[in-house]
Amino acid sequence: MKSLLVQKFGGSSVADAECMRRVANRIRQDKDDGNDIVVVVSAMGKTTDRLIALAREVHADPDDREYDQLLATGEQISISILAMALHHLGVEAVSMTGPQAGIRTDGSHTRAKITGIDPVRVRENLDRGRVVIVAGFQGLNPIADVATLGRGGSDLTAVAMAAALKADRCQIFTDVDGVYTADPRVVPSARKLEVIAFDEMLELASLGAKVLQSRSVEFAKKHGVELEVLTSFERKPGTLVKEASDMEDVLVRGVAADKNQAKVTLRGVKDTPGVAAHLFKAVAEAGVNVDVIVQNISEEGETDISFTVPRDDLNDVRKCLQSIENVEFREDLYDDTIAKVTLVGVGMRSHTGVASSMFEALAERNINIQMISTSEIRVSVVIDEESANIACQALHTAFGLDQAPDS
């Protein structure tokens, strides 16, 4: 069946000429199968880092517009080299910068949002049987300047281009072959998932699973773009990311551990109105993202508040709390030996008892739960870091993830 595919290859997939040839060969195979193909590429390997280093040599804090003008060249090099590599294989191909591909953005340089895509030239060239290679990470802003999309921008370019072209699928090529039920290095029985729901993928992305950035998954969900995460090293199916309504609900899709968190506890906080607001405003102003928050009920006008933050930010939080005004407390405690373990599954929406089963499984292993946080499709617990791997293995088994669903 002839499909329109948007394929995205990241910087490590196109690191040098040899990689370019391999990617070109992969594209040729899919083209030979009768598919129409749009390719989105990032800058080659360390190109962006080199450009940033060059900029820093002349200015410690370069102007955002000029920064974008500079960085956009990285992808422009990739697209033309990949076009040449495809030509070498006898495949008709044409490269397009973000602006040429009709990608429009808002005016915020270095973290622009895509405001629309008008892929006239892309369609014209597809109609002429060509592979169209689009520079990721960039577009044209309202005053005709190049703007870059920021972190994960090339994934976003691919997803947005797929939406604009109503492509059959957007394939994100990475160095892993898909999304797993758990980290295979921790849980040997972890299995590659054939499918995962957008919402599940979003929960995993926020957990730090680096496969796909939240922005791209959200965009794909909003525009109904079917995503596939797959490896560029082998030709085999990856993991499909799609609407939950199109797939069988499972109670738990996967289990993940985030060991990059630290816990802050304030004991004996004077429980006056607005104290939590003061506290978390101060932490936010220190540039720190708070994840799980737990506040116990107040006793004798005092309460305990615990929250988790990225481990690297722990010192910033400590400084912030030492000088905080409007918040009185007896003691501040810091623990950077914790982990957050999370179960994800859209089936939880219509099932109860996942949390209690989870606590039971952990209790059986004598794992103490320090904090609990839940959403519609997720249960997270904060536990001792040393127990994280055992917890993942126990939960993987307890929720039947060791076997494939149909086995």
Going from the C-alpha of 76 to that of each of 56, 68, 242, the distances in angstroms are: 21, 12, 31
Going from the C-alpha of 155 to that of each of 6, 70, 134, 141, the distances in angstroms are: 11, 20, 12, 19
* Binds a second copy by CB under 8 A, chosen from 27, 38, 72, 343: 72
Does 77 bind a second copy (CB under 8 A)? Our answer is: yes
Does 15 bind a second copy (CB under 8 A)? Our answer is: no
How do beta strands 4-9 and 36-41 pair? parallel
Output 21 or 169, the one with its CB closest to a second copy: 21
* Binds a second copy by CB under 8 A, chosen from 7, 42, 76, 387: 76
User: Where does residue 69 rank: exposed (0-12), middle (13-18), buried (19+ CB within 10 A)?
Assistant: middle
Separation CA 74–CA 137 (nearest Å): 10
Does 48 bind a second copy (CB under 8 A)? Our answer is: no
> Closest approach of Cβ 125 to a second copy, in Å?
11
Does 97 bind a second copy (CB under 8 A)? Our answer is: yes
Output 232 or 387, the one with its CB closest to a second copy: 232
* Binds a second copy by CB under 8 A, chosen from 5, 38, 41, 81: 81
Q: CB of 65 within 8 A of CB of 145? A: yes
Output 63 or 312, the one with its CB closest to a second copy: 63
In the Cβ-directed half-sphere of 359, how many Cα atoms lie within 13 Å? 9
* Binds a second copy by CB under 8 A, chosen from 3, 32, 49, 88: 88
Does 17 bind a second copy (CB under 8 A)? Our answer is: yes
* Binds a second copy by CB under 8 A, chosen from 6, 83, 229, 305: 83
Output 47 or 157, the one with its CB closest to a second copy: 47
Q: Which stretch binds a second copy (CB under 8 A): 20-28, 220-228, 256-264, 376-384?
A: 20-28
> Closest approach of Cβ 104 to a second copy, in Å?
15
Window 123 to 162, contacts with a second copy (CB under 8 A)? 144-145
Separation CA 100–CA 122 (nearest Å): 9
- The set of residues, in sequence order, having a beta carbon less than 8 Å from that of 358 and lying 6+ positions away, is 343, 379, 381, 395, 398
Does 73 bind a second copy (CB under 8 A)? Our answer is: yes
Count of residues that bind a second copy according to CB under 8 A: 36
- What is the residue whose two structure tokens read 């999370």? 342
**Beta-bridge partners for 378:** 344, 375
Backbone angles phi, psi at 327, to 5 degrees: -125, 115
Output 28 or 191, the one with its CB closest to a second copy: 28
DSSP string, 155-207: HHHHHHHHHHHT-SEEEEEESSSS-BSS-TTT-TT--B-SEEEHHHHHHHHHT
Q: Which stretch binds a second copy (CB under 8 A): 77-85, 353-361, 369-377, 382-390?
A: 77-85
Separation CA 47–CA 320 (nearest Å): 37
Name the residues that contact a second copy, by CB under 8 A.
17, 20-21, 24, 51, 54-55, 57-59, 62-63, 65-67, 69-70, 72-73, 76-77, 79-81, 83-85, 87-88, 94-95, 97, 100, 121, 144-145
